[in-house]
Amino acid sequence: MASRAELDDVALLADVPVEVEIELDRRMMRLRDILDLAAGSIIPMTKAAGDYLDIYVAGASVGRGEVVALETNAGVRITALESRS
């Protein structure tokens, strides 16, 4: 458990923006196929609703999540967080 001093130190940084990355997929494509890409092209992904993916904050793995379908787009439900110690 964090001490009061540690919590106070974190509170000072609470409003600092940090980059959160959630990687949906990676794939290899032939250069020919990349050159054929245009507005409206679709690159199929292997992840679907219910699949799991990794979550990174400032480049460090912080947990895992599940792809969920929302009304008009997708989201990630946090399923596990790394230990903060």
Tens-digit pLDDT profile for the chain (85 aa)? 667 777 777 788 888 898 999 888 888 999 999 999 999 998 888 887 788 899 999 888 999 999 888 888 888 999 999 886 6
58 vs 48: CA distance, rounded Å: 25
Q: Does residue 44 sit within a domain?
A: yes
Does residue 5 fall inside a structural domain?
Answer: no
Does residue 6 belong to any structural domain of this protein?
no
In a domain? residue 53: yes
pTM above 0.85, yes or no: no
CA angle 81, 82, 85 (to 5 degrees): 130
Q: How many domains does the chain have?
A: 1
**pLDDT of 85:** 61
Residue 70 covered by a domain: yes
Question: Tell me, what's the pLDDT at 5?
Answer: 73
Residue 54 falls inside a structural domain: yes
48: CATH: 2.30.330.10
Q: Flag whether 9 is in a domain.
A: no
